[in-house]
Amino acid sequence: MIEVHPDRRVPVAAKALFDHTLDSLGSLLADWNEPTYRARQVMEWVYRHGAEAYTDMTNVPRRLREKLSVAAPIFEGQILRKSDSDDGTVKLLLGWADGGNSECVMIPDEERRTACVSTQVGCPVGCSFCASGLDGLQRQLSAGQMVEQVMRIRRLCEPEDRLSNVVFMGTGEPLANYDATLAAVRTINAPWGMQIGARKITISTVGLPAQMRKLADEQLQVTLALSLHAPNDELRRQIIPWASRVTIEELVEAARYYFDRTGREITIEYVLLGDVNDRPQHAEELAAVCHRMRSNVNLIVYNPVPGLDFQRPAPRVAERFLDSLRAHGVNTHLRRSRGLDVDAACGQLRRQVPQVQRARTAVATKPMTSP
């Protein structure tokens, strides 16, 4: 079922609450000659009690609540669409006050509730099998806009089903929006914030070695997922444009560095594209790459994207690929496709919104990093 909400526009704020840390909110309050413990109260209301508005914060003086609602508004995005899949997956399309739309997804599993969030509007990489990069990059998202997506998804979970995991696997390349992504991770992880353990947070990257090393040095325990999708540079360059700037060898070195610094295994993501990268020799080559680092492999069957000329491999081909990796001693599993009936392949919901609405997006305001 799809509910369409009107795109009510709200004024762009000085700084959204979700862009604040406990310290920065404390500084704002200190500038106003307010006690800084109020910052902790506000954060508790928002992140612990799920307050949607300052009016809920009954132990904060009214005139301060009014001031904060202008200077640091909560929930700036509007829900433009909500799509419920038969398998329980729920997808939201959020429209931002400063332009552009983002999709985020709640993926329920037996014991887990996972939020999948976007890091950019569009994507600068343009992988040939992915809906997200078809229109290029429109703009970066702020840290607060990433946190807001996770908070929106948290609100979809039943009270007894705590949101347990966050994956940065929606539209965009997180490491090409490094500072905002890291700030969002810190808020999601913070004791004053969402309190989701770093090990339950996954950053997925197409592979930017310098940023992978930087992330390794952050003293965080986040899971790093590397979208490899091909076991050799020649094939990788045919499906991932940015692979022309970086070799698998460089990615292996960066992944090894990540493991050495964090002790965290790398998750290798591999989308199986029928007759492209799913042959027995590809599985053998991939196993050899995997043996060069501490890793596990997530095989994902291609989710069809309208207008793109790829096929899903037959189930027996995917099984054969899986068996071959296992026979070579690689820890791997085949990921179920979730939310197919709500176009959960990343970037698809956003593209269903008329061009005119998407064209409101501003030009990227922050510099973008590439390998």
Q: Note the residues at the interface with ligand SAH (CB under 6 A).
A: 129-130, 169, 173, 204-206, 227, 269, 271, 300, 302-303, 305, 345-346
In terms of CB distance, is 262 or 348 closer to ligand SF4? Answer: 348
- Distance, C-alpha 324 to centroid of its chain: 30
- 133 is a site residue for ligand SF4 (CB under 6 A): yes
Tokens 């793109």 belong to 308
Query: How far does the chain reach from its first CA to its final CA, in angstroms?
Result: 41
Quick one: tokens of 231? Answer: 């076991």
Helices (H), the chain: 22-31, 37-43, 62-71, 143-156, 178-189, 209-216, 233-239, 248-262, 280-290, 315-327, 348-352, 355-358
- 125 is a site residue for ligand SF4 (CB under 6 A): yes
- 140 is a site residue for ligand SF4 (CB under 6 A): no
Burial of residue 363 (number of CB atoms within 10 Å: 0-12, 13-18, 19+): exposed
In terms of CB distance, is 112 or 162 closer to ligand SAH? Answer: 112
- 173 is a site residue for ligand SF4 (CB under 6 A): yes
Tokens 């998202």 belong to 141
- 123 is a site residue for ligand SF4 (CB under 6 A): yes
Tokens 């029928």 belong to 274
Yes or no: say if 99 and 112 are a contact pair by the CB < 8 Å rule: no
Select the residue interacting with ligand SF4 from 132, 149, 165, 262 (CB under 6 A): 132
Binding mask 13-52 for ligand SF4 (x = CB under 6 A): ----------------------------------------
In terms of CB distance, is 205 or 324 closer to ligand SAH? Answer: 205
Indicate which of ligand SAH, ligand SF4, none lies near residue 305 (CB less than 5 to 8 Å, by partner kind).
ligand SAH
Indicate which of ligand SAH, ligand SF4, none lies near residue 241 (CB less than 5 to 8 Å, by partner kind).
none
d(CA 17, CA 300): 36
Nearest CA among 112, 191, 192, 194 for reference residue 147 = 194
- 83 is a site residue for ligand SF4 (CB under 6 A): no
Helices then strands, each counted (H, E), the chain: 12, 13
Q: In the complex, what is the shortest distance from the CB of residue 221 to ligand SAH, in angstroms, rounded to a whole number?
A: 19
For the chain, how are helix, strand and coil distributed in percent, rounded to 5? 40, 20, 45
Catalytic site residue from 104, 123, 127, 346? 346
Yes or no: say if 195 and 46 are a contact pair by the CB < 8 Å rule: no
Q: In the complex, what is the shortest distance from the CB of residue 204 to ligand SF4, in angstroms, rounded to a whole number?
A: 7
In terms of CB distance, is 144 or 172 closer to ligand SF4? Answer: 172
Indicate which of ligand SAH, ligand SF4, none lies near residue 116 (CB less than 5 to 8 Å, by partner kind).
none
In terms of CB distance, is 75 or 258 closer to ligand SAH? Answer: 258
- Is 346 annotated in the active site? yes
Catalytic site residue from 103, 148, 173, 269? 103
Indicate which of ligand SAH, ligand SF4, none lies near residue 126 (CB less than 5 to 8 Å, by partner kind).
ligand SF4
Q: In the complex, what is the shortest distance from the CB of residue 303 to ligand SAH, in angstroms, rounded to a whole number?
A: 3
Q: In the complex, what is the shortest distance from the CB of residue 113 to ligand SAH, in angstroms, rounded to a whole number?
A: 19
In terms of CB distance, is 148 or 173 closer to ligand SF4? Answer: 173
CB-based contacts of 18: which residues, under 8 Å, 6+ apart?
74, 143, 144, 145, 147, 148, 151, 187
In terms of CB distance, is 51 or 300 closer to ligand SAH? Answer: 300
Tokens 């990921």 belong to 335
SS3 95: strand
- Is 130 annotated in the active site? no
Give the range of 6-14, 166-174, 312-320, 331-339 binding ligand SF4 by CB under 6 A.
166-174
d(CA 33, CA 159): 37
Query: Which residues in this chain contact ligand SF4 in the complex, by CB under 6 A?
Result: 123, 125-127, 130, 132-133, 171-173, 206, 227, 346
Active site amino acids = 103, 346
